Amino acid sequence: MSPLKQLTQQERINFLLTNRIPRRWATLFFGWFSRIENPLLCKVSLAAWKLFADDLDLHESKQTRFKSLHECFIRELKEGARPIDADPQVMVSPCDAVVGAHGRIENDTLFQAKGFPYEALDLLGDPERVARFRDGTYVTLRLKSTMYHRFHAPYDCAVREVNYISGDTWNVNPIALERVERLFCKNERAVIDLEVSESRPPLTLVPIAAILVASLRLHFLEQNLELRYKGPNRIACDAAFTKGEEMGYFQHGSTIVVLAHKDYQLHEAVAFGDRIRMGQPLLRLP
């Protein structure tokens, strides 16, 4: 079997397994299991994980031994492992990812996969936000479970509010995106508006949870945003970041949709299916 066919078969099996079980309870159970601090259990779990994900690479990690799977999922990298592009016209990728659907927002319509459109209002839940990005640019960044799970500021910016939208925990792999309509609009997510410095047009990050993942830690909020969260949806804050500074992390892997004003253009190096690293060019101002 060719590597491509093998990958597709693995994704189909993954889709069937993860979307035919109670997703909420599976996610809560895995969240508990991943935090068990037992080096032997962690070692066995990592070995089992590598059987299904041979691209798990820890050589850039600050630490090589972990007390729990959770420690591995949220691992930090060695100093200098992700150089930040210094071009003042460039907005960098906030995370390591595989580049998914991207392009111009057609009025208010984006695509999660070919033939699967969704509306910006369904994703963002706020008409005022939708108006900012009409005919703008979007990029879908998929964080595989094996990747570095922390995300960073794409430019110097401030965050004044986070809008947390509770939802489901569908798998977000390519097979699911080609089968489940409006998937991103159904899943747990947070809408993070970035006030970009130097009077540049706005950006918004939408981290989207998935099965086994639904927990988002933002360093500037006291609480985790997760299935058990019962607080207000709109959370006021006052946080400032420099380009490349860490903002938070997923627990396992998921997706970030980046929405940009129409003045931004996709960087010429961005292509569907390519891997991009945090700190590499993602968007550019002309």
> Which residues are annotated as catalytic?
96, 152, 254
Beta strands in 48-183 (DSSP E): 90-92, 97-104, 109-113, 116-119, 137-142, 150-152, 157-165
> How many angstroms separate the CA atoms of 9 and 229, rounded?
35
> How many angstroms separate the CA atoms of 249 and 163, rounded?
16
Q: What is the DSSP letter of 265?
A: E
> How many angstroms separate the CA atoms of 187 and 174, rounded?
15
- Sign (positive/negative) of CA torsion 75, 78, 82, 87? positive
Range 130-155 burial, b when 16+ CB lie within 10 A, else e: bebbeebbbbbbbbbbbbbbbbbbbb
* Count of all residues that appear for the chain in the document: 286
Strand 137-142: give its sheet, edge to edge. Answer: 234-241, 157-165, 189-196, 203-208, 255-260, 137-142, 97-104, 275-276
Q: What is the DSSP letter of 61?
A: B
**Largest interatomic CA distance in the chain:** 53
